[in-house]
C-alpha cells in the first residue's frame, strides 16, 4: 500500500500512546493507536465503588507543564485536583515517624537517633555511588545503616515493592547518581531541589486519574481504536522515501504504517517483535513484582501522603496511601501488599488480603477500617533487579521505536515527555522525507481539525 502522508502506528493506548497521539496530531502527522482492551489508559485505571474513587494503579501524577498541556488539550484542566501538601511517614519501631525529606522533617523526625542524623550529614564526605553497587550498598555506605533501614530503604524499595539489595544502582539509581556527580553530593542535590521549590505538585482529577486518558481518547477518537489487539508486527510495504514500513496485524485487519511505536508491557513487546527485532526477546524475562491493593474506608483522620513500612516490622503491608488527606477522598485509604518479599501473598483470597490490610492498618494508626474493594496488579511494578540487564542489548530496525516505561523512566510526566520528544523526532524525519506536493504537517493539522 502506498500512502501520500506518513503514518505512525502506535501499539497501546496507555498514557504514552495517547500523549504521542496528541503530539503527532499537533505536528500534523497521521497516526493510529491500537489498543487491546475496551478502555484507554493502560495501568492508569480508576473505578468508582460505593461512591469512592479508587485508583487501581498510580495514585497521583505530578503537575508538570507536559501533563497540564495534555489536560488542557483534552478539556479536563478544570477537573485537576491538587494534593494537599503533607508528610510521608515511615512505620518503624512500632510508631509512625515523619520521613526526613525536608529540613524541618529532618530536625523533627524521631525515626533517626542523633547519632544516625550525624552519620547522615556526613554523606558529602563519602565516595560517590557506583553503578556496580546495589541500591542498598549505595544508601548504606553514604547515609549509614540506620538511615537505610529506617527510611531510605523502605521509601525507595517501597515505591517499587522491590528490595534495594537486589537492585543494581546502574539503572535503579541512574538519575540520582547523575545528580550526585553534578552537585558533588546526594544531600546537596536534595537540598538544591528543595530550595528550588521542590517538584511539581501531585495531582489527580475529579473522577480519578483515568479521566485524563479517557478525555484524550475521546478528543482523538478518530486516531484511537479500542478493542484492537495487535497480534503481530511484520515488515510492511508502505514504501515511503525508499524505506519499508510495518504491518500491524489486528483480528480481521492489517494496518500499514511507515513508523511503528510500541508502548506495550515488556513481555507483550517481546512477543510482538520476535520477527522484526529478535534482540527484544530478553524483554520477556524482565521481572515484575506482583502487587495487591486493598481499598479501605476508615474514620482515621490522618494528615499527609501516607506511610511506608520500615524493615524488620512484623507486617505484610508495604505502604498505605492516604487518599483521604491527599485529594479529599473522604475516608479512603489504599494499602499495597505483596512485592518482592511477599509475592505469593497476592494469590491469597480477597478475604485474607482484606483482613491483613485492615488489621495492620488498625495496628499502625489505631483506627478501624472496613474494605471497599480488593485488586491485583498484573504485571505489577518493575523489580529493577538483575533481570533488567536484559535491556542492555536492544537493537531496533529503522522506523521501529519503543516508547515504554521500562526502556525510559516510568513516572507519568516522563512518559509524556518521551512521547513529546519522539513526536518531535518523527516530525523532523518526516519533514526531511516529505516529497514535493505531499501534504505538509500544518496542512494535515488543519485537516484534522
Ligand X SMILES: Cc1cc2nc3c(=O)[nH]c(=O)nc-3n(C[C@H](O)[C@H](O)[C@H](O)COP(=O)(O)OP(=O)(O)OC[C@H]3O[C@@H](n4cnc5c(N)ncnc54)[C@H](O)[C@@H]3O)c2cc1C
d(CA 292, CA 119): 36
229 binds ligand X (CB under 6 A): yes
54 binds ligand X (CB under 6 A): no
Site of grid cell 479501605? 296
Q: Write down the least CB distance from residue 199 to ligand X, Å.
A: 11
Q: Write down the least CB distance from residue 273 to ligand X, Å.
A: 11
Out of 17, 164, 236, 319, which residue is the one contacting ligand X (CB under 6 A)?
17
Q: Which is nearer to ligand X, 110 or 347 (CB)?
A: 347
Asked whether the beta carbons of 237 and 86 are under 8 A apart, the reply is no
What is the Cα Rg of the chain in Å?
Answer: 23
326 binds ligand X (CB under 6 A): no
Q: Which is nearer to ligand X, 185 or 407 (CB)?
A: 407
Binding mask 118-157 for ligand X (x = CB under 6 A): ----------------------------------------
- Burial class for 239, CB neighbours closer than 10 Å (0-12, 13-18, 19+): middle
List Cβ neighbours of 50 (8 Å cut-off, separation of 6 or more).
Answer: 297, 372
Give the H or E element holding residue 364: helix 350-365
264 binds ligand X (CB under 6 A): yes
208 binds ligand X (CB under 6 A): no
36 binds ligand X (CB under 6 A): yes
Of the listed pieces 53-61, 96-104, 114-122, 127-135, which binds ligand X according to CB under 6 A?
A: 53-61
Task: Please name which of 297, 303, 307, 265 lies closest in space to residue 89, comparing C-alpha atoms.
Answer: 307
Q: Which is nearer to ligand X, 274 or 368 (CB)?
A: 274
Which of 100-103's residues contact partners 24+ apart within 8 Å by CB, and which partners? Answer: 100/151, 102/194, 103/194
Ramachandran area for residue 338 (φ above 0: left; ψ -120 to 50: alpha; else beta): left
Give the H or E element holding residue 79: none
Out of 6, 12, 290, 319, which residue is the one contacting ligand X (CB under 6 A)?
12
Binding mask 267-286 for ligand X (x = CB under 6 A): -x------------------
Out of 5, 7, 16, 176, which residue is the one contacting ligand X (CB under 6 A)?
16
Of the listed pieces 20-28, 52-60, 217-225, 426-434, which binds ligand X according to CB under 6 A?
A: 52-60
Ramachandran area for residue 120 (φ above 0: left; ψ -120 to 50: alpha; else beta): alpha
Task: Kindly state the number of chain residues that form the binding site for ligand X, as judged by CB under 6 A.
Answer: 33
170 binds ligand X (CB under 6 A): no
Task: Please name which of 227, 274, 276, 219 lies closest in space to residue 253, comparing C-alpha atoms.
Answer: 227
Which triple of cell numbers denotes residue 323?
487518599
24 binds ligand X (CB under 6 A): no
Site for ligand X in 403-422 (CB under 6 A): 404-405, 410-412, 415
d(CA 255, CA 220): 18
Task: Please name which of 238, 291, 289 lies closest in space to residue 260, comparing C-alpha atoms.
Answer: 238
Of the listed pieces 32-40, 109-117, 179-187, 361-369, which binds ligand X according to CB under 6 A?
A: 32-40
Q: Which is nearer to ligand X, 240 or 305 (CB)?
A: 305
The residues binding ligand X (CB under 6 A) are 11-17, 34-37, 42-44, 57-61, 229-230, 263-265, 268, 377, 381, 404-405, 410-412, 415
Amino acid at each position: 500500500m502506498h500512502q501520500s502522508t506518513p503514518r505512525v502506528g502506535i501499539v497501546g493506548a496507555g498514557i504514552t500512546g495517547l500523549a504521542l497521539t496528541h503530539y503527532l496530531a499537533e505536528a500534523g502527522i497521521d497516526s493510529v493507536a491500537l489498543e487491546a482492551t475496551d478502555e484507554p489508559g493502560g495501568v492508569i485505571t480508576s473505578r468508582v465503588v460505593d461512591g469512592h474513587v479508587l485508583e487501581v494503579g498510580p495514585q497521583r501524577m505530578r503537575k508538570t507543564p507536559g501533563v497540564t498541556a495534555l489536560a488542557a488539550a483534552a478539556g479536563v484542566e478544570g477537573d485537576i485536583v491538587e494534593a494537599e501538601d503533607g508528610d510521608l511517614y515511615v512505620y518503624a519501631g512500632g510508631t509512625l515517624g515523619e520521613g526526613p525529606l525536608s529540613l524541618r522533617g529532618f530536625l523533627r523526625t524521631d525515626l533517626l537517633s542523633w547519632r544516625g542524623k550525624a552519620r547522615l550529614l556526613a554523606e558529602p564526605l563519602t565516595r560517590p555511588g557506583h553503578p556496580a553497587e546495589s541500591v542498598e550498598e549505595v544508601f548504606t555506605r553514604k547515609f549509614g545503616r540506620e538511615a537505610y533501614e529506617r527510611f531510605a530503604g523502605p521509601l525507595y524499595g517501597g515505591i517499587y515493592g522491590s528490595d534495594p539489595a537486589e537492585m543494581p544502582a546502574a539503572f535503579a539509581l541512574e538519575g540520582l547518581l547523575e545528580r550526585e556527580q553534578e552537585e558533588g553530593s546526594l544531600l546537596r542535590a536534595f537540598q538544591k531541589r528543595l530550595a528550588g521549590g521542590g517538584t511539581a505538585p501531585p495531582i489527580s482529577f475529579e473522577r480519578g486519574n483515568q479521566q485524563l486518558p479517557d478525555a484524550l481518547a475521546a478528543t482523538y477518537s478518530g486516531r484511537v481504536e479500542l478493542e484492537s489487539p495487535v497480534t503481530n508486527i511484520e515488515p510492511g510495504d508502505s514504501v515511503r522515501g525508499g524505506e519499508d514500513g510495518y504491518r500491524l496485524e489486528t483480528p480481521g485487519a492489517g494496518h500499514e504504517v511507515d513508523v511503528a511505536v510500541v508502548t506495550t508491557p515488556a513481555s507483550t513487546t517481546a512477543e510482538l517483535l520476535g520477527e522484526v527485532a529478535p534482540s527484544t526477546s530478553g524483554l520477556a524475562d524482565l521481572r515484575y513484582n506482583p502487587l495487591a491493593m486493598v481499598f479501605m474506608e476508615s474514620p482515621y483522620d490522618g494528615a499527609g501522603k501516607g506511610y511506608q513500612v520500615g524493615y524488620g516490622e512484623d507486617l505484610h503491608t508495604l505502604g498505605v496511601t492516604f487518599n483521604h488527606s491527599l485529594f479529599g477522598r473522604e475516608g479512603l485509604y489504599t494499602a499495597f501488599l505483596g512485592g518482592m518479599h511477599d509475592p505469593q501473598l497476592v494469590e491469597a483470597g480477597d478475604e485474607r488480603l482484606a483482613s491483613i490490610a485492615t488489621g495492620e492498618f488498625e495496628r499502625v494508626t489505631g483506627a478501624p477500617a472496613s474494605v471497599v474493594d480488593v485488586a491485583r496488579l498484573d504485571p505489577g511494578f518493575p523489580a529493577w533487579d538483575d533481570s533488567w540487564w536484559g535491556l542492555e542489548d536492544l537493537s531496533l530496525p529503522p522506523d521501529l521505536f519503543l516508547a515504554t516505561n521500562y526502556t525510559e523512566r516510568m513516572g507519568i510526566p516522563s512518559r509524556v515527555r518521551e512521547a513529546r520528544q519522539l513526536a518531535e523526532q518523527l516530525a523532523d524525519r518526516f519533514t526531511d522525507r516529505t516529497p514535493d506536493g505531499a501534504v505538509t504537517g500544518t496542512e494535515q493539522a488543519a485537516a484534522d481539525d
